[in-house]
Structure formats: structure tokens, C-alpha cells
Amino acid sequence: MGKNFRPPVNVETYREPLVAILHEVIQRPNLTHPQLVRLLKDHPKDHQGVFSKNDLIQAYRAFAGTDNLPPFDPAVVERLRLKPVRSMSGVTPVTVLTKPFPCPGECIFCPNDVRMPKSYLANEPGAQRAEQNSFDPYLQTYSRLSALHEGGHPTDKIEMIILGGTWSFYPESYQIWFVRRIFDALHDFGKGIDHTDEVRAALRQASQLDPAYPTQEIISGIELTESYNQAVQRLYHEEMRRSRDYAQAIRRGERPRLVVDEYATWEELEAAHRENEEAACRCVGLVVETRPDQISAEEVIRIRRLGATKVQIGIQSLNDEVLRLNKRGHNAEMTRRAIRLLRQMGFKIHAHWMPNLYGSSPAADLEDYRRLFTDPALCPDELKIYPCSLIESAELMQVYQAGQWQPYTHDELLHLLTACFRFTPEYCRLTRVVRDIPSTDIVAGDMKTNFRQVVENELRRQGEASPDIRAREIRGQLVGLDDLHVDEIRYESSIGEEIFIQYITADRRISAFLRLSLPVEPPLIEELAGAAMIREVHVYGQSLSLGEEMPGKAQHSGLGTRLIERAAEIATQRGYRRLAVISSVGTRAYYRKRGFEDGTLYQLRDLPTGE
């Protein structure tokens, strides 16, 4: 819950005006936003305030089928939905942050806010929600699901995104517990069970990360000579001691029962996975973020065992000298190796790239960007572009004050990013352009958080458009199968050929796609021997509830099944014996219905041999 949180009204108390508004909304399907605002003012709350969209959605759920209102219709909720873009890409994303913890990196551009996991700032929206919930995975997940539900978004198909620090540097016991508690929240929310008060009470007694902890005293008490890691270990010494003591108790065969014990077994997590397969609130994607130097064969297997399907990886630059100057702690070859390992396990690869780093230039950055998609060892599926901004707590501040680094001007950055957008292949999705850092935290650098829109407007002025996935998503547009055709893009990766199969309109708007990997070398694990790999299936358009259908919507129109059958056909032609899929926990049932059987970490389907 953010600082602008407003508790929902008691709809029964305001039944008469709410029903009157709903009658108007239902009778006027083409109601515009200004007309809705006027309607709300015509039926005020307590003769002075106005009802929110959340209030209307709550009332509609309660009163549909009564008071001469027709039975519940999801199309009505869609018209009332707050910020529909949040679930417009086919799933509903929920982001949670891990707790402040030492980081293996010493990057000079990274902020050093010890209230947050490394690289995050307390004023960022997602970080604020995490801090308000004590960085607890259960509370973060549950409160976000509640807010989304109140806003009219479907909550049965959730993509869980775990950010904060370097995931692979946290203890394995914390990782297992963190993910297990996310699933606990999904299950409790789906059942209508609310344990948040119990968890908050336990955190108030046991955690230094509780919101009541004096964060301003933390900031003012930091010694300037301390590193982030030193400060975090000193300031949260009780938190870390408790975790160490708990781990030692486990090794002695003891198991204290605290709701915030930060410990779970693999068996407990796997049981939560199985429960989620048919749960009311399913995890259809799990994302973690890490660094190239923290990736190994053992690590990618562990990430997969947690249930992850996508990895965000901070590559930042492919120029070794730039990486060295910025104390990144890895080189470009480590990035190539990490991506290769991730690709061997079928993960979606979501890279982070930073122009305007110390030691670079617009020309060098453009060359770097081109290398991202011309080097077969790279070719990310998704990309966040984070132009370097100067934060006062970052070591880069000293370089700036010495006159050795300057942020690009608006025109330099616009020219660079316009060229980058133009060069982005259709198989890549530009997820974010410019990080959502409040302007009050930026000392120098472009402060526009809508720079994507600025770039897209510039491309439009030149008669062009970005070819990336996000710019081409079908979103709320009504389409039928007759409006779509199959298109295939083939490109080489470090482990073999990749085929991006997409359903698009005549003007190349994308409605669905599948990523198929055709490896030519032995896999990391025996389970994938002789198998082609489906790395992702995605159908765009407003996320619909499981089993729900709406005419003309891409969701639930059979496009996913058609893409899978095309992938099976290609894999069979190439001589593969099996087709594997890196399914998320919440999509296992979906793939079973399409001929896949459960393996240990993947689902697999035998292919005809042609004999």
C-alpha cells in the first residue's frame, strides 16, 4: 500500500448512488473517461467526494445480478479497470524486493542507500512498497494482489518478479524461503485467507526491517568511509545474527517456528509448487535478477529448481575498458558465458544495458548496442535500457566533480536511443527505457521518466516506428484469426538456432509468439538430451481470467496451441526426439493438456521419429 492508499468504501452503505452509476455505465458501453468523471460528480459520495474506480468495481462485483443490474460481465470490469496497461500484456505482473544485503559488486554508478537492497533507492515506487511491507515476500505479494484486485485486474495468472540486489548472492536458504512465502501468499489470497496482520505482528517483534525502525537515523549514522556492505552489516547486525543463529539451529536438527524464520526446505517449496498447479491464483512466470559473474552451471540449475522461467541479468556494457572503469567486476566474456548457460537451460534472457557510463560515448554506445544483436552469444529476448544517471550517494559523484564524466545532453540521448530503437529486432521486447528514479534523487542526467514516449514520438516524426515487441503488442485491439498470419524469424545463438514464431496482423502488430531453441550441443542436464526447447509462449491482449472468453480477444483463442504445434512440427523436421518446455508452475496443467508429461525440471513431449 502506497502513501496514496485509500481504503475501499463499504459498498452497502452507498448502494443507491453506486447502483445508479453502474446502470449508466452498463447502458453506455462507449462511455468516455470525461463522461465517467461527470457521471461520478452527478452521484457524489456523502454529497462532496466522488467514488473511485476501485469503489465501482467492488460495487459491481457485489451487486451484479441484483437491483435490475444484469449478471456479472467481465467486459464491464474492463471498462472500469484502473490502469489497464498493467495486465494488457497477457499476465498480471507483481514485483517484490529482497531485503538489504551485501552485494558482490562495487559499481561506481550504483546508489548506496542502505535502507534498500543494492542499486535501489527508497523513493522508487516499488521500493516504497517493499519497505512498507518490511521486505517480507508474503506481505509484498499479498498487498499487491489486493491492490490489483481492487483495481479490477485479474489475479489468477501472475508473473512474479523478484528484484533487489544480486539474487544469486543471497543464501540458498533465504532464496527457498522467499519463493515459498510468495507461493503461500498466492494461495492464501486465492482462498480469501488473510494472514497479513499475523505476519506484521511477528515482524514488529523480530525484524529490524519493520517500517517502525528509524530509517532516518540509519542514514544519518552512516560513516562516509564505510562501503555499502560494511554499513549494511553494521546496521542490520541483529537481523543477520538472527538469520545465522537460525541456520545453526537447523543444522543442529532444531526448527524454531517463527513466521519470519527465513527458512524453508526444498521439499516444502516443491509441495507449494504442486499446490499452485491448480490454485485460484497461479504463478505463470517467476523472474529473478543477477550478475554475469554469479552465474555457473550449478546456479542456473538451482534457479530453475526454484521455479524460475526468466532471468534478468545486468550486462551494462560489452566494452571491457568501460566495465573496468566503472568497477563492474566482470568482463564481456563472462556475460557471454552466463547467457550461454542460461540459454542451455531454456531461460528467457532479460538483459540490462546502460549507455552513458563513465568512459563511453554516444558513438561507442551505439556500437555496443549493435553488438547486442549481431553477436550470437548475446541476442537477449528482453532488454531494459538504463541511461546512467548521477545519484549523490554513488561513487560516480567524485568522478563527476573532478570533471571526468558528464551526462549526455537531451539531444545526444535522444539521437542515441532513436538509433537503438531502430536497430532492435522484432524478437526483442524493450521492457523499460530509463529507470523510474524520482527526479529529486538525480544530481545530473536526463530526468524524464517518459523517455520511451519521447523516442517513439521522434520515430513517428520520421515516419518510422520501433520494431520491438512492446511497441507492436496488440493490447486491447479486437482481432480474429482471419486478421493474423504466422511469421518466423530465425537467428543464431551460442548453442544453436533460435526461431521466433509470431502471429501478426498485416501491419505487423503482434498477437502471440513462441520462442523455440534448437540446440546442437549436449545439454547441462540429462533430462534435456535430444530435446528442442520451447523457451516461451505468450499471447498478448488484456489478461483474462482462467476459463474466461471474450469475443475478438487474443487471450484464449487457441493461438498458444497453434504455436506449440508449429514448434513440434519444426522440431520433428530437424530430427529432435522430444520437445521440452520450461514451463512455470502455474502453466503445468496447460501443457499437460497439450501432450507434455512432467519431468524433473521440465515438461516434455515425445515427437514422431518419422520411421
Does this chain's domain 87-168+278-471 share its CATH topology with 474-606? Answer: no
330 alpha carbon, distance to own chain's centre: 24
Provide mean pLDDT across the span 47-69.
80
Provide mean pLDDT across the span 140-169.
91
CA distances from 420 to 91, 377, 563 (A): 27, 19, 29
Cα–Cα distance between 417 and 366 in angstroms, integer?
Answer: 8
Q: What pLDDT shows up at residue 237?
A: 76
Q: Are 94 and 148 in contact (CB under 8 A)?
A: yes
Rounded to the nearest 5 degrees, what angle is found at the Cα of 364, between the Cα atoms of 361 and 368? Answer: 130
Cα–Cα distance between 96 and 543 in angstroms, integer?
Answer: 20
Q: Is the dihedral of CA 557, 538, 561, 305 positive or negative?
A: negative
Q: What pLDDT shows up at residue 480?
A: 84
Between 446 and 511, where is the model more confident? 511
Neighbour count for residue 423 (Cβ, 10 Å): 14
How would residue 63 be classed by pLDDT, with cut points 50, 70 and 90? Answer: confident
**What cell does 358 get?**
563513465
Q: Which DSSP string do the residues of 199-238 spell out, in sequence order?
A: HHHHHHHH-TTSTTS-HHHHHHT--TTS-HHHHHHHHTHH
Q: Which DSSP string do the residues of 510-550 spell out, in sequence order?
A: EEEEEEEEEE-S--SSGGGTTEEEEEEEEE-SS---TT---
Q: What pLDDT shows up at residue 260?
A: 62
Cα–Cα distance between 451 and 548 in angstroms, integer?
Answer: 36
Q: What pLDDT shows up at residue 212?
A: 80
Rounded to the nearest 5 degrees, what angle is found at the Cα of 304, between the Cα atoms of 533 and 266? Answer: 145
Q: What pLDDT shows up at residue 163?
A: 95
Between 523 and 444, where is the model more confident? 523
Cα–Cα distance between 191 and 276 in angstroms, integer?
Answer: 12
> Residue 82 contacts by C-beta under 8 Å, 6 or more apart in sequence?
52, 53, 54, 57, 151, 152, 153
**What cell does 231 get?**
554499513
Cα–Cα distance between 214 and 229 in angstroms, integer?
Answer: 19
Q: What pLDDT shows up at residue 113?
A: 85
Provide mean pLDDT across the span 98-122.
89
Closest by alpha carbon to 107, among 236, 363, 234, 293? Answer: 293
pLDDT in tens, 128-138: 899 999 999 99
Between 301 and 4, where is the model more confident? 301
Cα–Cα distance between 261 and 193 in angstroms, integer?
Answer: 21
Provide mean pLDDT across the span 539-557.
52
Cα–Cα distance between 456 and 444 in angstroms, integer?
Answer: 24
Length of the chain measured in residues: 611
**What's the predicted TM-score (pTM) here?**
0.85
Q: What pLDDT shows up at residue 224?
A: 52
pLDDT of 191 higher than 80 = yes
**What cell does 30 get?**
462507449
pLDDT in tens, 157-167: 999 999 988 99
Give the start-end residues of each E strand in 388-509. 390-391, 429-433, 442-444, 485-493, 496-504
Sheet with strand 578-581: strands edge to edge: 485-493, 496-504, 510-519, 531-539, 578-581, 603-606, 597-598
Between 29 and 158, where is the model more confident? 158
Closest by alpha carbon to 354, among 313, 384, 390? Answer: 384
DSSP label of 7: P
pLDDT of 514 higher than 70 = yes
pLDDT of 579 higher than 60 = yes
**What cell does 46 get?**
456523502
DSSP label of 45: B
Between 441 and 255, where is the model more confident? 441
Closest by alpha carbon to 449, among 123, 184, 210? Answer: 123
Between 549 and 237, where is the model more confident? 237
pLDDT in tens, 207-258: 888 888 766 566 654 555 678 888 888 778 777 776 666 666 666 777 655 5
**Options 3.20.20, 3.30.70, 2.60.40, 3.10.350; CATH of 87-168+278-471:** 3.20.20
Q: Is the dihedral of CA 316, 98, 470, 52 positive or negative?
A: negative
Provide mean pLDDT across the span 511-515.
96
Cα–Cα distance between 94 and 161 in angstroms, integer?
Answer: 6
Helix (H, G, I), strand (E, B) or coil at 489: strand
pLDDT of 2 higher than 50 = no
Cα–Cα distance between 120 and 133 in angstroms, integer?
Answer: 16
Q: Is the dihedral of CA 116, 118, 123, 126 positive or negative?
A: negative
The CA-based dihedral angle spanning residues 62, 64, 66, 67, taken in that order and rounded to the nearest 10 degrees? 100
> Residue 281 contacts by C-beta under 8 Å, 6 or more apart in sequence?
145, 155, 156, 158, 186, 187, 189, 190
Q: Which CATH superfamily is domain 474-606 in?
A: Gcn5-related N-acetyltransferase (GNAT) (3.40.630.30)
Neighbour count for residue 40 (Cβ, 10 Å): 20
Closest by alpha carbon to 346, among 496, 204, 221? Answer: 496
Cα–Cα distance between 232 and 94 in angstroms, integer?
Answer: 26
Portion of the chain with pLDDT greater than 70, in percent: 87
pLDDT in tens, 334-367: 999 999 999 999 999 999 999 999 999 999 999 9
Q: What pLDDT shows up at residue 548?
A: 44
Provide mean pLDDT across the span 297-325.
98
| Angle between the N-to-C axes of helices 410-423 and 362-374, in degrees from 0 to 180, rounded to the nearest 10 | 20
Label the pairing between strands 310-316 and 282-290. Answer: parallel
pLDDT in tens, 394-415: 899 999 999 999 999 999 999 9
CA distances from 213 to 115, 151, 207 (A): 10, 31, 9
Q: What pLDDT shows up at residue 81?
A: 65
Helix (H, G, I), strand (E, B) or coil at 270: helix
Cα–Cα distance between 291 and 300 in angstroms, integer?
Answer: 12
Cα–Cα distance between 117 and 113 in angstroms, integer?
Answer: 8
56 alpha carbon, distance to own chain's centre: 28
- Phi and psi at 119, nearest 5°, equal 85, -5
**Domain definitions of the chain by residue range:** 15-80, 87-168+278-471, 474-606
How would residue 259 be classed by pLDDT, with cut points 50, 70 and 90? Answer: low
pLDDT of 420 higher than 50 = yes
Q: What pLDDT shows up at residue 210?
A: 86
Q: What pLDDT shows up at residue 547?
A: 46
